[in-house]
Amino acid sequence: MMRGLVWLILATGMIFAASPARAQRYDPNYPVCMEVYGGDGSRIECFYTSMAQCKGGAQGGVAGLCFDNPYYVAPAPEPAPAAQTAPAPSATPARSQRH
């Protein structure tokens, strides 16, 4: 009896584990995401570079809600180029050559 219960629990777990699962994707390379609504539920799309671009996509016939990506990582700013300076004058005076 106990062995049958264990097999029943394991089989039930395997059935639920085999069902398809859709992961919500937050791409940290893009600052704006859209939650897109469809007949089979909603999904997250993060590939917009601005809120205006996302809202333009939503107005193009896609039902969705734009929001700031909570996992966005802004790129590090590029370092400014070092200022070029003229070489310092020599500390020892030049000797004149006599022949």
Which pLDDT score is estimated for 19? 47
**pLDDT per position as a tens digit, 41-84:** 888 999 999 999 999 876 677 788 999 999 998 888 888 888 77
pLDDT digits (tens, 9 = 90+) for 90-99: 666 666 666 6
Other beta carbons within 10 angstroms of residue 56's beta carbon come to 13
Q: Where do the H-state alpha helices sit in the chain?
A: 2-18, 51-59
What size, in residues, is the chain? Answer: 99
The bridge status of strand 41-48 relative to strand 32-38 is antiparallel
Cβ(53)–Cβ(32) under 8 Å?
yes
pLDDT per position as a tens digit, 18-46: 545 555 578 899 999 999 988 888 889 99
One-letter amino acid of 99:
H
